[in-house]
Amino acid sequence: MTKEELMRKAITLSEENVAAGGGPFGAVIARNGEIIATGTNRVTPDCDPTAHAEVSAIRAAAQKLGTFDLSGCEIYTSCEPCPMCLGAIYWARLDRMYYGNDKQDAARIGFDDAFIYQELEKDPVQRRLHSERLLSKEAIRAFEAWMAKPDKTEY
């Protein structure tokens, strides 16, 4: 399939998802023009705030391929990803991303992520979400164990 055909599939998924009661987002993960997995926004039907189309597609592709490393794959998404999804795309090591609507289009229909980008720039104590460091001397033990583990799978 061409890039345009794969993007049209993501757009069709987003439209079908709206008709089915979900959010207006769809995503396709492909490798060499072949669809590996798809995802739609399932936040409200699944009561899962992380069930965005891109994350859903990444989960399905990783499961299908049996790996957390999606190098060699591309993602086609009906909208520019939110910060969470963009992070997931980087963590999954997708080679390329294509999107239809941009974040300004999303903001116009009530999906505005600008505040998250602004929050990330702040020192944790200045963020709207109260946070404080707690038991760091105990928490570091897992990191020390990880560093000492000779047979760890790096990711």
Report the 3 state secondary structure along 31-72. Answer: ECCEEEEEEECCHHHHCCCCCCHHHHHHHHHHHHHCCCCCCC
Tell me which of 5, 34, 54, 154 is the catalytic residue.
Answer: 54
54 catalytic per annotation:
yes
- List Cβ neighbours of 95 (8 Å cut-off, separation of 6 or more): 71, 72, 73, 74
Active site residues: 54
